[in-house]
Structures are given as C-alpha cells and as structure tokens.
Amino acid sequence: MESNMSGPYSRLPATEGRLASQQSETPPVDLRLHHALGAVEPGQPLDQNARVAIEVRHLNFYYGTHQVLFDISLPIRQRQITALIGPSGCGKSTFLRTLNRMNDLIPETRIEGEAIFDGENIYDPAIDVIRLRQRIGMVFQRPNPFPKSIFDNIAYGLRIQRKPRRQIQEEVERSLRAAALWDEVKDRLKASALGLSGGQQQRLCIARALALHPEVLLLDEPCSALDPIATLKIEELLLSISKEYTIVIVTHNMSQAARISQYTGFFLNGRLIEYGPTAELFKRPRQRETEDYISGRFS
Amino acid sequence: MSVPMPTSSSSSSTLQSGESRLHPFLATRSSLNLRRRLVNALVVLFTTLAALFAAGLLIYLLCYVLSQGLRYINLDFFTQLPTPNGEPGGGMGEAFQGSLILIALASLMGVPLGLFTGIYLAEFGRGPFAQGVRFLVDVLNGIPTIIFGLLAWVLIVIPMQSFSGLAGGFALGMIMIPIVTRTSEDVLRLVPRELREASLALGATEARTILQIVLPAARNGIITGVVLAMARVAGETAPLLMTAFGTTFWNTDVTQPMDALPLRIFQFTLSPYQQQVNQAYAGAFVLIVLILLASLAVRLAAGGFKQR
Ligand SMILES: Nc1ncnc2c1ncn2[C@@H]1O[C@H](COP(=O)(O)OP(=O)(O)OP(=O)(O)O)[C@@H](O)[C@H]1O
Ligand SMILES: [Mg+2]
C-alpha cells in the first residue's frame, strides 16, 4: 500500500513531460499514478443505504438455442458504480444489453426471468422500449459518434423528445460540462465529431447519453480503445457523475474495477460467480474462481 | 495425413532435411528451374498482352469515333434539330432533350423503388421472403433489357395506342431498379452496427435511425449507385426502340414519341447520308464521354466513401 497517497485521484505533478506532450489532451497525468492505483485500497466508499435501481432475478438468455446467461440474479444499486468483470466471452456484454433491451435487435434471441426497474419488469411486453432506453442510457466499447457535428450529436436524443431549441442549447452545454469536454470543444461545436480524438469521442458519447438525464448509465468497456491517459479521464468523469447516476460498467481492466466501483460482479461462462462490495470481492473473494481470476492479473 | 512406415518416414525425412540444409527454397536441378522461369515469364507476358489489348481496344474505339465525329461536335450539334435529307448543318438537340427527360422519368421510378428495396433488404430483410426478393433482384439484373421494352410495350404502348416517353422511362426505370437496389443494400450494410445501436440506445425508433443516421452515413455510396444506374440506362437502345421510338422534333410531351441519344445514333448510323453517319459518331463520342465522366465521378465518390 502506498500510504503517501491520500486518495485514488490525488493528482501527482507530471514529472515526465514526455507522455504528456505526446497527448494533446490536458491535463497531463503521470502514468505511474495509473499503475500505482491498482495497489491502493480497492473499491470506492459505498453508501450502505443505497436503494436498488434494477433488481435482476433469475435471468436466462439464449442466442437461438445457445444459452449464454444462466440464472443471473443481482441488485444494481442506485447512484453507485457496479463493475462487471470476467474473461472474454463470459456474457458480460450480453447481460449489460439485456438491461436496456438492446438485444431485442438481434434476431432469434430469447430471455427468461425478470429485471425490475422502477417497479416494472423491463421484459414486460407492454413496456415502452423507447422510453426505457431514454431512462437507461448506454455507452459502447468503441466510441461511436454520429458523422455529424459535435452539437448535433448531443442534440440528437433531445430532438427525438422534441425539446425546445433553447433547452437543447442548455442541455448541450450542461452535458458537455458534465463529461468534462466543454472546455475542449466549446469553440467548435459545429465541427464534425469525427475530428475529435478517441478519448474525446468517448466522452462525447457519454455526454450524448447524459443529455437525456438517464437514471442508469450502462458502459460496455468504454476505455478499451483508449490510451491510459484518456482512460483515466473517463474514470474521473465517471466518479464525478456517480453522485447523480447509477452506473454499470463492464471492464476487462481489473484495476479499473477496483479503482472506481462500489460493487463488483464476476462472470464466468455465463454465470454470476460472485457479487458483492468491490473491497470485499477483491480482498476476500469467497469463490475459488474469483480468486483465481483476480490473482491471475492482480498480483 | 497418412502414417507411413517408420523406416520409410525416417529415411525420407533425413533426405529432405539434407537437401534443405543446402538450399531451402531453390531447386537443385537447374533444368527444372529453367522451365519454371520460362512458364513464369510466359504467364506474365500473356496477361500483360491481354491487358494491353483490352485497353488498346477502348483507346482505338475512342480515337476512331473521335476522328469520324469530332468535326461535327459544335454548339449546333447540341441545340439544333436534324436537317432534312442530310443537308449540311443541324444537330441532334431533340435527342439530348429526350435522353434527359427519359433518364429523369426512369430515375423518378427506379431510384425510390430501388432505394427502398435496398433499405428493406439491408435493414429488415431476413427470412425466406427477403431471400426471394434478393434472388429476384439478381435475376432482374441479368434479364436482357429488350425484355423490359417488351413489358413497357404491353403495359403502356398498347393501351395508350402510341409510343411514348412514358413507356421509355418505364422500361429504363425497370433497368435501374436492380442496380440501385444492390448498390444501396451493399453500402447500407457497410454502415457500422455501432452507429445504429448508438441511435437506438438514445431512444430513436428504427425508422428515425435509418432516415437520420444510416442513410446520411451511406449517402455517397447510394449516390454512386444512382449515378451508375443513370449512366447504364443513358446508353440503352433496345428497350427504347419499341417504347420511346424516337422523333426528329422537339418534344416535351411524355405521352408522345420521344428521341434519345442512343436511338438517334442508331438511326443515323443506318442513314444513307454521310453527314448523318458522321453525326452518329459525334453522338457516340458524347455518350462515351458522359459515361466516362460518370465512372470517374463514381470513382472519386467511392474513394471518399472508403476513406471515412
Ligand atoms: N449476436 C450473437 N449471436 C450469437 N452468439 C453471440 C452473439 N453475441 C455474442 N454471442 C455469444 O455469447 C457469448 C457471450 O458473449 P458476450 O459478448 O456477452 O461476452 P463478453 O463477456 O462481453 O466478452 P468480451 O469480454 O470479449 O466482450 C459468447 O459465447 C458469444 O460467442
Ligand atoms: Mg463484451
């Protein structure tokens, strides 16, 4: 443990200008901080009284006849960050996509069980999927801005809701600020979003989701296409908005899960092997598989 | 792999390794080597010659057409009607006018139908019905174009008791449909799934996603397909013979016979007057240049599309 660090995000002065100068993105962050972070206490302080935002119960999921999720049950707590970890192909993305019914778009999929969100079952055929997706936003693995201007990217979801022009302008600024992107793009809102760097694009995608005031934000490996510095910025951003939003993040990066989340779920072969507070799961895993997986890359 | 006897396997492997230690790739026997080189050189030679021949044909065609017709390409050629009895001067203005109208009519029919079919196939087209549609579109693409003329003749010319631009436009439109369908289906499929998912995850309907995200992202490719289809029907002659029929007068009335560039080239090539034969070459040259320009534009647009 490094006792000289007051918290995971106390910023060290950049001692090596080399890395910072390679990246145009400010502020410079010392890479060693990034590596050191894995060694600090895992898990963010959690709110014991947090209510459950989505209660998933006995979820099974099939692609055709191929079952990929087996009897998943877990609570997703309000205004907490829940991290989902597990080896490739274990069903993390599939699970995440069941939460806002993105799997509906894939033909021949089947789902059993329930996920209660705000008193209603997400899989109830009567549910308004459009409304559901506006309340449960999603950010994808690869930054996927529309080939439109920065402004139009964020305004897109608001225009769907027929918000008045004035409000759209305000929301664009608010969500860009929340995504820590405003200062970098405020002078070129009309420029194409494709001209942004990968990290900026991903923050734009987060801002685009935040513009709709979702209650839950799902992120599927949002940093896997980004370099460590851009990754750190996204993590900071997620921590800063986690006071207001319920966040579920899939990540391959276990130190990332340890750094930012309050709760962690470990998936293996379509089953939820272990779920609990991040600090406990990382320090005292109850299951052999969890321990093996964590220690495999964590020690 | 078969498992050889232990003894033979060991002996052959030692032989191979002994050889390969000397020269792993070069053959040891020089006669074999020579033959390989000869065959290689011959293949290179023949393919190069074939390519030269094909390119040479096009260049010869252009030069020939140009040498015969260039003198007749002037402003009058585009703006005047043909002169009676092959008198000097005049042009084929009515053919340019007619071709423009026919292509516009054909596009009016072929572009929306082709585009929407393409959207259907790319976005919703699963299952046997879509497979059937896809197959039929391919068949449509292979049907000799005179058959479409026949269809227009039966459906439009006979009931109206007159050749007409409408019938010609219909026949050309049928030809455009499969081209536009296939190219738009292909480019729509190239639009990354992530883009659609981003839109749907923001609460957009499928219809809005297609109209506001997918179509604009595929716009260049779709335009490419449309231009290709227009270039293709601009040169069609056979289906116009029994539909638009041709005329030597100005005509904007689509219920009346209408001239077209390839029709006029066809008529003038058979003309007894040398000046009309030469004007046919001039028309052919203009047509080739138009199609060349269209191909070039498509190339540029396609390059721009790939870069994104
Ligand atoms: N569209 C699909 N059709 C059929 N099977 C699929 C489809 N998408 C995923 N699968 C299968 O479902 C299983 C779980 O995939 P999923 O993408 O959820 O895993 P993951 O944990 O997100 O993996 P990764 O960490 O590599 O992203 C895999 O075995 C995969 O092959
Ligand atoms: Mg995944």
Which of A100, A142, A209 is nearest residue B194 as measured by Cβ atoms? A142
A188 three-state secondary structure: coil
What's the CA-to-centroid distance between A90 and ligand 1, angstroms? 7
- Decide if A9 is inside a domain: no
Query: From CA A269, how far away is CA A127, in angstroms rounded?
Result: 30
- Decide if A26 is inside a domain: no
Query: From CA B161, how far away is CA B149, in angstroms rounded?
Result: 15
- Give the tens place of pLDDT for each residue, B137-165: 999 999 999 999 999 999 999 999 999 99
**Integer Rg of chain B from CA:** 28
Count of alpha carbons within 13 Å of B263, Cβ hemisphere only? 26
| Contact (CB, 8 A) for A290 and A254 | no
Residue where a domain terminates, one of B53, B71, B89: B71
Residues B36 and B125 in one domain: no
- Give the tens place of pLDDT for each residue, A250-279: 998 888 999 999 999 999 999 999 999 999
Sheet holding A120-121, edge to edge: A66-77, A52-63, A109-117, A120-121
Contacting residues of B for A134, CB less than 8 Å apart = 202-203
Residues B117 and B227 in one domain: yes
- Decide if A282 is inside a domain: yes
CA A299 remoteness from chain centre: 24
Q: What is the pLDDT of residue B229?
A: 94
Q: Is the preceding omega at residue B262 within 30 degrees of 0, hence cis?
A: no
Q: Which of A43-57, A196-210, A270-284 has the weakest average pLDDT?
A: A43-57
- Decide if B279 is inside a domain: yes
- Decide if A203 is inside a domain: yes
- Decide if B1 is inside a domain: no
Residues B251 and B108 in one domain: yes
Residues B96 and B53 in one domain: no
Closest protein CA for atom 5 of ligand 1 = A63
Residues B84 and B56 in one domain: no
Cβ separation B197–A134 shorter than 8 A: no
B23 three-state secondary structure: coil
Residues B242 and B167 in one domain: yes
Structural domain containing residue A222:
57-294
Query: From CA A188, how far away is CA A32, in angstroms rounded?
Result: 33
**Residue B155's domain is classified under what CATH number?**
1.10.3720.10
- Residue percentage of chain A with pLDDT more than 70: 86
Structural domain containing residue B94:
75-307
| Contact (CB, 8 A) for B273 and B85 | yes
Establish if A133 touches chain B: CB-CB under 8 angstroms: yes
| Contact (CB, 8 A) for B81 and B151 | no
Establish if A107 touches chain B: CB-CB under 8 angstroms: yes
- Quick one: CA torsion of A156, A159, A163, A164, rounded to 10 degrees? 100
Q: What is the pLDDT of residue B28?
A: 58
Q: Which of A159-163, A293-297, B93-97, B171-175 has the weakest average pLDDT?
A: A293-297
- Decide if B6 is inside a domain: no
Tokens found for residue A213: 């005031």
- Decide if B3 is inside a domain: no
* Disruptive mutation site among A127, A144, A168 for chain B (greatest number of B CBs within 10 Å): A144
- Decide if B158 is inside a domain: yes
Taking the CA of A91 as reference, the closest ligand is 1
DSSP code, position B245: B
- Decide if B98 is inside a domain: yes
Residues B108 and B152 in one domain: yes
Residues B256 and B271 in one domain: yes
Q: What is the pLDDT of residue B306?
A: 45
The mean predicted confidence, pLDDT, of chain A is 85
Residues B263 and B297 in one domain: yes
Total structural domains in chain B?
Answer: 2
Predicted TM-score of the model (pTM): 0.77
Q: Is there an atom of ligand 1 within 6 Å of A93 CB?
A: yes
Residues B114 and B22 in one domain: no
Residue where a domain terminates, one of B48, B71, B94: B71
- Decide if A110 is inside a domain: yes
Which of A102, A131, A208 is nearest residue B197 as measured by Cβ atoms? A102
- Decide if A71 is inside a domain: yes
Q: Has residue A8 got a pLDDT over 70?
A: no
Total structural domains in chain A?
Answer: 1
ipTM of the assembly? 0.81
Q: Could you write out the three-class secondary structure of B24-93?
A: CCCCCCHHHHHHHHHHHHHHHHHHHHHHHHHHHHHHHHHHHHHHHHHHHCCHHHHHCCCCHHHCCCCCCH
- Decide if A128 is inside a domain: yes
- Decide if B2 is inside a domain: no
Q: What is the pLDDT of residue B1?
A: 40
Chain B residue closest to A98 (CA)?
A: B201
Which residues have C-beta within 8 Å of that of residue B110, sequence separation ≥ 6? Answer: B172, B173, B174, B175, B176, B177, B179, B180, B229, B233
Closest protein CA for atom 30 of ligand 1 = A89
Residues B164 and B18 in one domain: no
**Residue A93's domain is classified under what CATH number?**
3.40.50.300
Q: Has residue A22 got a pLDDT over 80?
A: no
Mutate to test the pocket of ligand 1, among A66, A69, A90, A252 (most ligand atoms within 8 A of CB): A90
Residue where a domain terminates, one of B29, B56, B71: B71
Q: Which of A91-100, A223-232, A241-250 has the weakest average pLDDT?
A: A223-232
- Give the pLDDT means over successive 10-residue stretches in chain B (308 positions): 42 45 59 87 94 93 88 91 88 94 97 96 89 94 95 95 95 96 94 93 93 92 92 94 93 94 94 92 92 86 53
Q: What is the pLDDT of residue B301?
A: 72
- Decide if A190 is inside a domain: yes
Residues B249 and B176 in one domain: yes
Q: Is there an atom of ligand 1 within 6 Å of A92 CB?
A: yes
- Residue found by looking up tokens 């951003």 in the block: A237
- Decide if B5 is inside a domain: no
